[in-house]
Structure 1
Amino acid sequence: MELDERRISAVIVRRFMDRLLDSMDLDVAIVGGGPAGLVAGHNLAREGFKVAMFERKLSLGGGMWGGGMMFNQIVVQEEGAQVLREFGVRVLDEGEGYYSADSVEAVSTLISSATRAGLRVFNCVTAEDVTMREDRVVGLVITWTPVEMAGLHVDPLAIRSRFVIDATGHDINVVRVVERKVPGKLMTPTGRAEGEKSLWSHRAEELTLENTREVFPGLYVAGMSANATFGGPRMGPIFGGMLLSGRKAAQLVSRALRGQGGRG
């Protein structure tokens, strides 16, 4: 059989468009494909909710891919190690409460597990805005990342979602959009995003989990986005708090969806 380039292209276009059309109305839209977003997406999809992830870069994994300064190893504490083990990632006990793992194995395993659980991933897609109804986030406005980078005047598309999780990390892209559109309305002490503080690994790990919560009706923050929103410090190349934050975000959103009579 001679391969037909048209057939190859047609299969790609049809499969992608089928998935995109089926993702126009979601239970949860996750913005950002780092460890917190992947764990949240995996857990929510596993529960039967309709979940899609929008990642502005071509690859997923966030800062976990590079470990510390491109030394592709990561460190987690005991609870984080347990999360990795649950996904089947090999973890080494380094003593005194420190555990290590290969960052490439960890990220690739999280991605595979999440997509196999039913998470739909749209990479190279930027969430440039949100849709709102009566002071509640009800979806995303998306465009191709290259379109955003080139500054082209191309209208975006809209995705409806019952809840949105900002897992974009330091930049808190979705939170910043909401902050600009409805100033002073965030559920923080000052009503605005506090911004992340300087590196303090121990405190950051604690606060990442504590700050994982709803920050505006319909919008939750997870991972480094949680600390950047509520003024916690950055944590550096230790990722247990990220993993636990993703798990907590999934639990909170799942509870909220079930309260609304969700699908899961």
Structure 2
Amino acid sequence: MQSIRIKQVDEVKISRYILKYTFEDWYSLVDSDVVVVGAGPSGLATAYFTAKAGLKTVVFERRLSFGGGIGGGAMNFHKIVIESPADELLREWKVKLVEAEEGVFIVDAAEFMAKLGAAAIDAGAKVIHGINVDDVIFRDKPLRVAGVAVEWTSTQMSGLHVDPLFVSAKAVVDATGHDAEILSVASRKIPELGIVIPGEKSAYSEVAEELVVNNAGKVAEGLYTTGMAVCEVKSLPRMGPIFGAMVLSGKKVAEDIINDLRNS
């Protein structure tokens, strides 16, 4: 086998390229159309559809990977359940499906995560890992959520006090899952928004899937919710390792945002 010649790049160039192109991205994304908080199934589905519609979309994920609860599946088993009509979206993302019974499909968790993430990025969404959203921006004339405050997750984990950077958005989406972190911050710090978070109920999978999809949407002006965060704010049952409602609620929220922004 012939020896392989690799392009030589010194350390200073490596650093300069990373800094140059990173800051070009940040310079643009601080003024976005849509900020999605959480790169789980509902957040990535939202980002896929808003970016596909031409909206400048950024997803902030506090961890260094995407997929949210997909990877953990049920008790760390690597297969999850998708039901009709969510299978139509997975087919669009080229995820392989095994039909367990009519309208019920089994998918590989890693493939689902990878292809959903790739679909969102290919549609034009920017996904930034290692970012924690710890506050929102608001305006009072009229009263609305107008963006987010972000910090490095590693900075917060270290316990250092560092002020955040601000990112404006016409729509902020809470896709943080069971904790509904953005809704919680907004309800506590901006009581005028009237957000109440009673918390999710125990499992009732048969009804929870439809309830999550149909209740996903706008919570306050400029603030939307999708996925398991919907259960928190609407006091809906949880459903476990079945993910149809996650992606369908993301699609619904994206459609709501697209319509709202076009009509604003």
TM bucket normalised to smaller: over 0.9
CA distance in 2, matches of 1:160, 1:182: 17
Cα deviation 1:18-56 (Å, max 9, x = unaligned): 111100111110000001111110111111110100111
CA distance in 1, matches of 2:137, 2:85: 36
Secondary structure, counterpart of 1:7 in structure 2: helix
Secondary structure, counterpart of 1:12 in structure 2: helix
1:140 to 141, 148, 151: 148
Partner of 1:196: 200
Contact kept, 8 Å, 1:126 with 1:144, in 2: the verdict is yes
Structure 1 residues 90, 181: closer, same or farther in 2, change over 3 A? same
CA distance in 1, matches of 2:131, 2:26: 12
Q: Does 1:71 align with 2:51?
A: no
Once the two structures are overlaid, the 10-residue window that deviates more, 171-180 or 6-15, is 6-15
Partner of 1:237: 241
Secondary structure, counterpart of 1:17 in structure 2: helix
Cα deviation 1:60-94 (Å, max 9, x = unaligned): 10001122111111101111111111111111110
1:179 to 167, 177, 187: 187
Contact kept, 8 Å, 1:31 with 1:168, in 2: the verdict is yes
1:98 to 94, 97, 104: 104
CA distance in 2, matches of 1:200, 1:149: 35
% identity of equivalent residues: 40
CA distance in 1, matches of 2:203, 2:23: 42
Q: Does 1:46 align with 2:75?
A: no
CA distance in 2, matches of 1:153, 1:218: 28
TM-score by length of 1: 0.94
1:215 to 195, 199, 219: 219
CA distance in 2, matches of 1:176, 1:57: 19
Number of equivalences: 256
Secondary structure, counterpart of 1:136 in structure 2: strand
Partner of 1:161: 169
Runs of 4+ in 1 over 3 A off after TM superposition: none
Contact kept, 8 Å, 1:184 with 1:192, in 2: the verdict is no
Partner of 1:246: 250
CA distance in 1, matches of 2:76, 2:203: 18
Deviation of residue 184 (structure 1)?
6.4
Q: Does 1:8 align with 2:14?
A: yes
Contact kept, 8 Å, 1:38 with 1:111, in 2: the verdict is yes
Specify the code of the residue in structure 1 equivalent to 2:255. Q
CA distance in 2, matches of 1:115, 1:233: 31
Specify the code of the residue in structure 2 equivalent to 1:246. G
Q: Which has the larger radius of gyration?
A: 2
CA distance in 1, matches of 2:9, 2:225: 46
Deviation of residue 207 (structure 1)?
1.1
CA distance in 1, matches of 2:27, 2:62: 19
Deviation of residue 247 (structure 1)?
0.4
CA distance in 1, matches of 2:46, 2:255: 8
CA distance in 1, matches of 2:131, 2:97: 32
Deviation of residue 2 (structure 1)?
3.1
Deviation of residue 212 (structure 1)?
0.3
Deviation of residue 147 (structure 1)?
1.2
